[in-house]
């Protein structure tokens, strides 16, 4: 495991205007013409133009590529895609790359690229964080860029591939890109009639593909290369069409609303159901929520996901990017900050002196600080009001609605509901039923029989919202034991307390006093105005957290069968650390998205994107570290397998 939050970028040498990799001792494309070579070897050999004529509305066409490099294949593919009638279909392009090519080198590509698409590509091009990055460059073009060693990442990919570009460096220079295990993983995702192509005619490549059931033949190569390989899975290829049925989301908080937004992007109608009389619940009363990554001093899949979620938020949401200063008040804090900085880069976080912190914050700061320049905050009510305005006519909202039970009836789920007239008294006015083909639990910490094995923990949080800020000089978020936000529209937020296993919604005078003291410890007295006094309001909310403080996203398992799976062994004892079979018994069309803790707004957009991909059968990397079954497997000593 790489002991950093980032992988190194690719080293590029330009030789006679052709890019060369000194690490692999090979060129990215031939000097005789990269555009013509790539078009012949991949676009023409896979008959893309002809096959796309068969696509219709809601169809998906999936291309997978081993070795993204400069993205030349991708740009040529999207150029061809735009030149043909797509009839409402969506192009999903999945590419693997261990070492990203720096953007200045990519910009040296001399081909005609749609300016709007190129602008979006530049804006969304990720930092080299290991794992998947989902880049929606247009409504009908999505690039899934998977960063890391392909041997480690390909087994987690879920995709229905229509065309495969095998475009790694030469087999003699990069053996890991041409292995039997790789062919096996990729072949398992090829659809009936899917095609593949590659410039190499190496015997072990041809034999390896044939062993996986692919029919392979040699065809005319490009330029000085006389031959290349073309392959096809037996059968007649037909476009993949996914019907977009309404999705019922139980819960209209941060998780539910971000899930709704991800589904609406795909024109999937949504029904929102919530026990509260308003969307967002208590969060609606908080004008400022923090956007920042949740990092650890040892990079783990969970902390890397948090960083990826932060990067996804930055590139897909509008927010107040004011930065965040974590004050380093003692030697222990300084030591931890130094370790964290070494795991990242200056664009993520850096240590600043007291004078630099003072200049950044606008206040007189006495300590060094860890500065996150891209952190910031968002007004959730304002943000999600935009989602509500964009809701399509097919969307429904059922507020003040209690879902008392959910049962399976043939191909649908039946929700038994009651209308809550008074949420505080739970007076019941009427009972009714809702039928749903697909259901998402975004219920936070509310108890649910279907999710009981997850042991979701409630954590009470209280913040103070000042309607008469005691300082208007603060220009960035300032954090110690609590955080103070810059004032905005006459409001300023101090957040937040943490009380585990508490669901008391009444404001606490003790918590208010503690938050007030935190404020005074962060803001110099000389830069405070008169006390806000009665103009300060306490807002209470209940967070949902998990045992490992990482969200839960995925399909809900059949809990009884999961328990039997965990207990099953050849000798009647539990397995340890591994199992020979993959767990597959899930509740059909039943999903969960919860457990965000205090980082819900930062992490929920990426989680919602992943969940929408699961529901809509789009390519995605299976996030085992978010899986609802991870706790049961962990308790049984079983290492997750996919």
Is residue 114 domain-resident?
yes
500 part of a folded domain: no
Query: Smallest Cα–Cα separation from 466: which of 517, 361, 538, 528?
Result: 538
Q: Is residue 311 part of a domain?
A: no
Q: In 10 A of CB 353, how many CB atoms?
A: 12
CA 6 – CA 349 distance, rounded (Å): 13
Q: How many domains does the chain have?
A: 1
- Confidence (pLDDT) at 422: 61
Q: Binning pLDDT at 50, 70 and 90, where does residue 581 land?
A: confident
The pLDDT, as a whole number, for residue 571 is 43
At 572, is the pLDDT very low, low, confident or very high (cuts 50, 70, 90)? very low
Q: What are phi and psi of 360, to 5 degrees?
A: -65, -40
- β pairing state of 227-232 and 190-198: antiparallel
Closest to 367 (Cα-Cα) out of 336, 339, 325: 325
User: Do the domain assignments include residue 182?
Assistant: yes
* Domain containing residue 86: 13-241
CA end-to-end distance (rounded Å), the chain: 19
Helix (H) / strand (E) containing 257: helix 254-265
**Nearest-angstrom CA–CA distance, 332 and 496:** 23
Q: Could you report the per-residue pLDDT of 278-293, keeping only the tens digit for each? A: 888 878 889 999 999 9
Mean pLDDT of 475-486: 95
Find out whether 95 and 64 touch, Cβ atoms under 8 Å.
yes
- pLDDT tens digit sequence for 234-277: 999 999 988 889 999 999 999 999 999 999 999 999 999 999 99
Q: Which helix (H) or strand (E) holds 469?
A: none
Q: What is the dihedral of CA 597, 603, 609, 612, to 10 degrees?
A: 0
* CA pair distance 21, 23, nearest whole angstrom: 5
Count of CB atoms within 10 A of residue 311's CB? 19
Determine the 3-state secondary structure of 106 from DSSP.
helix
The answer to whether position 106 is within a domain reads yes
Mean pLDDT of all residues belonging to the chain:
90
The C-alpha atoms of residue 591 and residue 326 are separated, in whole angstroms, by: 36
- The closest alpha carbon to 495, from 486, 503, 504, belongs to 486
Greater model confidence, 337 or 447: 337
pLDDT at 224: 76
pLDDT at 570 over 90: no
Contact 291, 599 (CB under 8 A): no
Q: Which long-range contacts (CB under 8 A, 24 or more apart) does 396-399 make?
A: 396/246, 396/270, 396/271, 396/272, 397/252, 397/271, 397/272, 397/279, 398/271, 398/272, 398/273, 398/274, 398/434, 399/252, 399/272, 399/274, 399/276, 399/277, 399/278, 399/279
The pLDDT value given to residue 217: 96
Residue 270 forms part of a structural domain: no
CATH of the domain at 152: 3.40.50.150
How confident is the model at residue 530, as a pLDDT?
58
Region for 371 from its dihedrals, namely left if φ exceeds 0, alpha if ψ lies in -120 to 50, beta otherwise: beta
Instruction: Single out the residue of 25, 34, 21, 11 nearest to residue 128, CA to CA.
Output: 11
Residue 424 pLDDT class (50, 70, 90 cuts):
low
Pairing of strands 438-441, 457-466: unpaired
Pair 526, 584: CB distance under 8 Å: no
Question: Which one has a higher pLDDT value, 468 or 414?
Answer: 414
Secondary structure of residue 12 in the 3-state scheme: coil
What is d(CA 276, CA 466) in angstroms, rounded to the nearest whole number? 25
Tens of pLDDT, residue by residue over 193-228, are 999 999 999 999 999 999 999 999 999 998 878 899
**Tokens 């300016």 — which residue?**
115
Answer whether residue 72 shows pLDDT above 50: yes
Greatest Cα pair distance, the chain, in angstroms, is: 83
Q: What is the pLDDT of residue 577?
A: 46
In a domain, 623, yes or no: no
Residue 387 confidence class, pLDDT cut points 50, 70, 90: low
At residue 532, the pLDDT reads 47
How many angstroms separate the CA atoms of 402 and 423, rounded? 10
Residue 534 has pLDDT above 60, yes or no: no
């Amino acid at each position: 495991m790489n002991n950093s939050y980032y992988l190194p970028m690719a080293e590029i040498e330009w030789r006679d205007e052709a890019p060369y990799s000194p690490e692999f001792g090979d060129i990215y494309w031939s000097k005789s013409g990269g555009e013509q070579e790539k078009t012949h070897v991949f676009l023409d050999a896979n008959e893309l133009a002809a096959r796309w004529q068969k696509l219709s509305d809601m169809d998906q066409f999936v291309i997978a590529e081993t070795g993204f490099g400069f993205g030349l294949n991708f740009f040529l593919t999207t150029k061809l895609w735009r030149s043909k009638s797509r009839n409402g279909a969506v192009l999903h392009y999945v590419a693997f790359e261990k070492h990203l090519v720096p953007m200045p080198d990519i910009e040296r590509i001399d081909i005609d690229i749609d300016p709007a698409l190129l602008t979006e590509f530049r804006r969304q091009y990720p930092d080299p964080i290991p794992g998947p990055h989902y880049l929606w460059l247009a409504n009908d073009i999505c690039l899934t860029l998977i960063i890391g060693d392909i041997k480690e990442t390909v087994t987690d990919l879920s995709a229905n591939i229509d065309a495969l570009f095998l475009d790694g460096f030469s087999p003699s220079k990069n053996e890991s890109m041409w292995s039997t295990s790789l062919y096996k993983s990729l072949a398992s995702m090829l659809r009936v009639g899917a095609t593949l192509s590659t410039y190499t005619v190496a015997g072990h490549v041809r034999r390896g593909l044939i062993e996986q059931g692919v029919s392979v033949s040699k065809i005319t190569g490009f330029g000085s290369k006389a031959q290349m390989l073309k392959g096809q899975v037996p059968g007649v290829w037909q476009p993949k069409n996914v019907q977009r049925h309404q999705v019922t989301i139980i819960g209209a908080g941060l998780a539910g609303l971000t899930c709704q937004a991800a589904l609406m992007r795909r024109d999937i109608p949504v029904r929102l159901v919530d026990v509260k009389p308003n969307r967002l619940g208590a969060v609606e009363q908080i004008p400022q929520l923090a956007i920042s990554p949740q990092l650890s001093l040892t990079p783990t899949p969970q902390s890397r996901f948090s960083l990826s979620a932060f990067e996804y938020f930055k590139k897909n949401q509008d927010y107040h990017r004011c930065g965040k200063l974590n004050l380093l008040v003692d030697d222990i804090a300084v030591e931890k900050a130094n370790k964290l900085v070494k795991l990242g880069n200056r664009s993520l976080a850096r240590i600043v002196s007291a004078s630099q912190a003072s200049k950044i914050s606008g206040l007189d700061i006495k300590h060094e600080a860890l500065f996150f320049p891209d952190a910031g905050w968002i007004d959730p009510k304002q943000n999600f009001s935009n989602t509500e305005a964009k809701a399509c006519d097919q969307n429904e909202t059922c507020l003040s609605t209690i879902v008392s039970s959910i049962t399976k009836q043939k191909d649908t789920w039946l929700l038994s509901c009651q209308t809550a007239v008074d949420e505080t008294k739970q007076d019941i006015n009427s009972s009714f039923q809702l039928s749903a083909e697909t259901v998402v639990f975004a219920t936070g910490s509310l108890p649910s029989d279907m999710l009981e094995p997850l042991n979701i923990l409630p954590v009470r949080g209280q913040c103070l919202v000042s309607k008469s800020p005691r300082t208007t000089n603060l220009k960035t978020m300032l954090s110690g034991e609590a955080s103070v936000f810059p004032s905005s529209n006459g409001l300023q937020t101090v957040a937040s307390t943490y009380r585990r296993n508490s669901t008391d919604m009444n404001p606490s005078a003790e918590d208010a006093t503690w938050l007030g003291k935190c404020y005074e410890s962060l803001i110099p007295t000389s830069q405070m105005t008169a006390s806000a006094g009665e103009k300060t309001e306490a807002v209470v909310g209940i967070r949902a957290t998990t045992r490992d403080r990482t969200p839960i996203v995925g399909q809900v398992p059949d809990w009884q069968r999961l328990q039997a799976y965990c207990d099953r062994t050849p000798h009647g004892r539990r397995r340890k650390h591994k199992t020979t079979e993959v767990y597959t018994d899930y509740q059909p069309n039943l999903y969960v998205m919860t457990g965000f803790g205090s980082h819900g707004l930062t992490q929920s957009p990426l989680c919602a994107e992943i969940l929408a991909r699961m529901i809509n059968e789009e390519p995605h990397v299976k996030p085992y570290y978010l899986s609802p079954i991870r706790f049961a497997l962990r308790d049984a000593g079983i290492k997750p397998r996919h």
